[in-house]
């Protein structure tokens, strides 16, 4: 189960249509070959509501992976990272560092982004929670990475590390479409391909 959360005052208020959740769903459908279900939430930039939503998706819906989009900039209303850190048991700073590295290839303002990732653990369950950018193009770039004109990987996307991270916290074994994003696992963590 994957939780998808779009944090936006205007989209949640009906001012415009949310683009974050559809972009996340489309990308996951292209990247994951393992069957999965999604739980979606469209909420305003309210810290208490973001915290409650993340807790509900992990503890209640028992998602192993939760992806948020929006609310990671420096403006006063951008509180997604604070809410995410507040529900965390472990911080995973490498994901945010890599997201900014990818975005810096396109815009110098990537350094203003405060994306982060955390693990939330309960006695019998754990989930990886990641804050992604708000724009569909940036969502795809950070998840998938950067390729040159010939399709050669220039910078790795963050999702390559997600399946192994989910393994390590006791979640389901996730497999990806290598044409979109090749999951990386050490050889000792690979499962043999099913026999035909």
What pLDDT score was predicted for residue 194?
62
pLDDT at position 12: 74
196 found inside a domain: no
pTM of the model: 0.93
pLDDT at 152: 79
Asked if the structure places residue 195 within a domain, the reply is no
Domain containing residue 93:
2-189
Task: Output the domain CATH number for residue 88.
Answer: 3.40.980.10
d(CA 17, CA 10) in angstroms, rounded, equals 9
Tell me what pLDDT residue 66 has: 98
Q: Is residue 194 part of a domain?
A: no
99 in a structural domain: yes
Residues of the chain with pLDDT under 50: none
pLDDT, residue 16, reads 81
Task: Read off the tokens for 98.
Answer: 């890599």
Sign of CA dihedral 194, 31, 20, 135: positive
Q: Rounded to whole angstroms, how far apart are CA atoms 61 and 59? A: 6
CA 46 – CA 130 distance, rounded (Å): 17
Q: What whole-number distance in Å separates Cα of residue 137 and Cα of residue 40?
A: 20
In this predicted model, what pLDDT tens digit does every residue of 22-34 receive, in sequence order?
999 999 999 999 9
């Amino acid at each position: 189960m994957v939780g998808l959360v779009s944090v936006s005052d205007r989209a949640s208020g009906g001012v415009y249509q949310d683009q974050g959740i559809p972009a996340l769903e489309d990308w996951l459908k292209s990247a994951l070959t393992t069957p999965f279900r999604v739980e979606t939430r469209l909420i305003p930039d309210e810290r208490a509501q973001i915290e409650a939503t993340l807790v509900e998706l992990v503890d209640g819906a028992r998602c192993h992976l939760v992806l948020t989009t929006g609310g990671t900039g420096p403006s006063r209303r951008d509180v997604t990272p604070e809410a995410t850190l507040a529900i965390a048991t472990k911080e995973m700073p490498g994901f945010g560092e890599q997201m900014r590295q990818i975005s810096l290839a396109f815009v110098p303002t990537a350094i203003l982004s405060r994306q982060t990732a955390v693990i939330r653990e309960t006695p019998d369950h754990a989930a990886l929670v990641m804050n992604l950018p708000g724009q569909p193009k940036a969502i795809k770039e950070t998840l998938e990475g950067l390729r040159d004109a010939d399709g050669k990987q220039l910078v790795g996307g963050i999702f390559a590390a997600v399946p192994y991270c989910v393994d390590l916290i006791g979640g389901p074994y996730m497999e990806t479409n290598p044409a979109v994003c090749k999951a990386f696992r050490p050889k000792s963590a690979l499962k043999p391909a099913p026999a035909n």
